[in-house]
Structure 1
Amino acid sequence: MTRLTTVGFDADDTLWHNERVFRDTQNRFADLLADYADPDHLAERLLAAERRNIGYYGYGIKGFVLSMIETAIEITDRKVPAHVIARLLESGREMLAHPIELLPHARDAVAAIAETHRIVLITKGDLLDQERKLAQSGIGDLFDGVEIVSEKTASVYREIFARHGDGPDRSLMVGDSMRSDVLPMIEAGGWGVHVPQGTPWDIEAADPPRNEPRYRALDDLGGLPWLLAQVG
């Protein structure tokens, strides 16, 4: 078996909490629009707006806020009160200032693996926000490289692990998203490790690969050093 030399880590909801901040804001959004739509219908309309807008705004808080504003305009037939728009903008600023809280075992796992492998942070989202989170996390100095990308695909992984390591076939990617962190990494020729965290965003949902020898799943990052020792 080819020895693994490089490990890639996703950031949001792999190393620190993120999705619950979006969920809390979406609940406040539902309260603000309660007179115009029930929560389930509003959630469907918001998700549709997010799907439409990813190609324009990318991933992250700013695109999410713009999608909420767009949905509010649509759901109220362009009659959304100005105070609702103002509250949504305020919610976005609050999200961008939210303190970082590392997930259990994240710090210890990253520190342990940094002693034996090259490690790279590979994340999607707004550049300034991701840089802020990494700076506040207290673990940024442990990484040999940081890549903030617009999308995670097999070709992106091939390029990143060729630049930071010995190619994807000697690399492993760990993250909470089956769609972005696991499946394209396996397609690129590497290992994909799924560490689920809470309820996944619908856009990131995907079925696990069947009969794939380079796929593993863990309950949390605490098992990652042991897994690396087993697979190489």
Structure 2
Amino acid sequence: MMNELEQALVEKYDIHFEDEHLLLEALTQANYLNEHPEEKGDDYQRLEFLGDAVMQQSTAVYLFKRYPDWDEGRLTELRISMVQTRSFAALSRELHLDRYIRLGRGEELSGARQRDSLLEDIWEAFIGALFLDQGQAVVMDFLDKILFAKIDEGFFDQFVDYKSKLQEYLQQDGPVVIKYDKLDEKTLANNDQIFTVEVAVNDEKLAIGKGKSTKSAEKDAARTAYQQLVQTK
């Protein structure tokens, strides 16, 4: 199965590990080694430590260079949404790392293979292994393809609570009344429903959002309003 992963990395991302043991280590949990004392090697935890630092630095450098006009607050906000558990777990699944994790029997039975916290650790360990094996330039090129490209797709918006952010922003100078009103509800030809919601503060209209549920439409309206307010600040 490791050969399948290595082949996929080469074909899709042009990544070839010189030291295959690093890749194996990044995918090995401690309980697996406890149950297989005949196998030599370490678990992923040290590589996870390194990969966490590499991800933080790589993302910060990328955002710093891409957005020269952004202040620290905006840079930090986007970095936090990118470098967090659900984001890393999603990337692990996209790379199919979840298929190749070497787990102990107990962890396997408990469903750890699909646990976001473990997939986050495995992602960081993989990045740590890639950094040691190929260096920072290859890591940045890989992240450009699988992580940074998702900024323009709005991928990281799902990890941000824009309703709370909008409320905090609007209440900086005191209490305000924030209302979300449903303006429309349509059923499309494929039976999907599209909701349209407007957000207002103290009866002043701020933005309109759309989504497949009232909740998602409210979040879309809050996101649009918050981003517009921050950009015009």
- TM-score where L is the length of structure 2: 0.21
Answer 1 or 2: which has greater helix percent: 2
- TM-score where L is the length of structure 1: 0.21
RCO greater where, 1 or 2, for CA within 8 Å and sep 6 or more? 1
Structure number with greater Rg is: 2
